[in-house]
């Protein structure tokens, strides 16, 4: 599958700080998604982006789909301890496989009280 480059690999911040992470790809995707995974659990969808340039918010989370459809960023404002987890970006191409996703390597977020 296509490679997604996600950065940073990890972040260690204090409660209340804002966080930003991003993903880039050499390929174009139809849809870009951001997931959060808690230890020992499956990923949970945070935000889905469908249109180039789309900016979408979900509570304290904001994500944008790049104009070229090759990149996206996720911002978390005023972080809280429960934001701890691994955040994955995922690109989706509509193909015979339907909804199969290509995942980035994840950004591990640690928030200290």
**Is residue 44 close enough to count as binding another protein by CB under 8 A?**
yes
Closer CB to another protein, residue 19 or residue 33?
33
User: What mask, x for binding another protein by CB under 8 A, covers residues 78 to 107?
Assistant: ----------x-------xxxxxxxxxxx-
**Is residue 12 close enough to count as binding another protein by CB under 8 A?**
no
Closer CB to another protein, residue 17 or residue 94?
94
By CB under 8 A, how many residues form the interface with another protein?
Answer: 23
Query: Nearest-5° angle of CA 48, CA 101, CA 19?
Result: 50
Residues that bind another protein in the complex, under the rule CB under 8 A: 1, 33, 35, 40-45, 48, 88, 96-106, 108
């Amino acid at each position: 599958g296509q490679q997604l480059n996600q950065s940073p690999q990890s972040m260690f911040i204090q409660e209340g700080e804002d966080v930003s992470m991003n993903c880039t790809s050499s390929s174009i995707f139809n849809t870009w998604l951001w997931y959060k995974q808690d230890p020992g659990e499956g990923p949970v969808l945070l935000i889905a982006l469908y249109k180039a340039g789309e900016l979408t918010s979900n509570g304290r989370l904001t994500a944008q789909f790049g104009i070229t459809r090759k990149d996206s960023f996720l911002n978390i404002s005023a972080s809280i301890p429960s934001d701890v987890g691994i955040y994955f970006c995922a690109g989706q191409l509509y193909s015979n496989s339907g909804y199969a996703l290509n995942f980035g390597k994840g950004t591990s977020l640690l928030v200290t009280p």
